[in-house]
Amino acid sequence: MERADTVIFAVWFDVLRDLVAQNTARLAGKVVIDPSHPIGPDGKGGFKRTLPDGVSSGSVIARMLPPRAHFVKAFGTVSAEHLANASNRSPERAVLFYATDDDAAGVRAERLISLAGFAAVKVGGLDQAIRIEAFGDLHDLGGLGGRLLTTERLSAGQVSTTSLPLTRLPSMSACAWTISSMWYTWPIGTAAVPRATLSRNSWSSRGGRSAASPP
């Protein structure tokens, strides 16, 4: 980690919190990319959010970092299947969203997303990170209903990435999914991370606006 200028933590959210706490000083000056999701087993064979509505895992991790770290939420915005199989599409690349308040982190995220074979699209600052985490309205395992977005679909206005005020962010308790856990290897690295395959039970946007409705 000492010689790296960018660190991607491809681990479960609870593990990520422990790793950041143990390595806080070593992360100073580095770009930290967080693809985590605040989910855990619900005791019924599925998964549930482990943070209150309106609180993203990105906001929790960002607060734990040293002042000189550069934080960006990225690389967790699509399912494992799409991440592994949808890179380098032609003629229109598939989209990976990111969120950050840090210009340097944003530049690095865009470069890595492009190198991975996707189109980078910023949804806003860190206050929008919850939208691109699991169950969020701009995640394919949430409001997008499993659909993979391309630059063409975004250009056609089929999905809005306009930043929403905090009072209008979708309620995460409004969606229910059944998730089974698997493992996969990222195409840009070698770390094994949880792969989630979901079947949709319901989606609504009570208490907020969904940028897209599932098919």
Which pLDDT belongs to residue 73? Answer: 97
Reported as half-sphere exposure (CB side, CA atoms, 13 A), residue 65 has a value of: 23
Helices 13-22 and 57-64, axial angle in degrees (round to 10)? 10
Which pLDDT belongs to residue 52? Answer: 92
Which pLDDT belongs to residue 195? Answer: 33
Which pLDDT belongs to residue 142? Answer: 85
Q: Which one-letter DSSP state was computed for residue 150?
A: B
Which pLDDT belongs to residue 29? Answer: 96
The pTM score is: 0.74
- The structure tokens 């967080």 sit at 34
Which pLDDT belongs to residue 160? Answer: 64
Which pLDDT belongs to residue 199? Answer: 33
**Residues in the chain, pLDDT under 70:** 156-215
Which pLDDT belongs to residue 64? Answer: 97
Which pLDDT belongs to residue 180? Answer: 32
Tens of pLDDT along 175-201?
Answer: 333 333 323 333 333 333 333 333 333
**In whole angstroms, what is the distance from residue 61 CA to residue 17 CA?**
7
**Homologous superfamily in CATH for domain 6-202:** NAD(P)-binding Rossmann-like Domain (3.40.50.720)
Q: What angle do CA 72, 176, 144 make, to 5 degrees?
A: 55
Domain regions of the chain by residue span: 6-202
Which pLDDT belongs to residue 187? Answer: 37
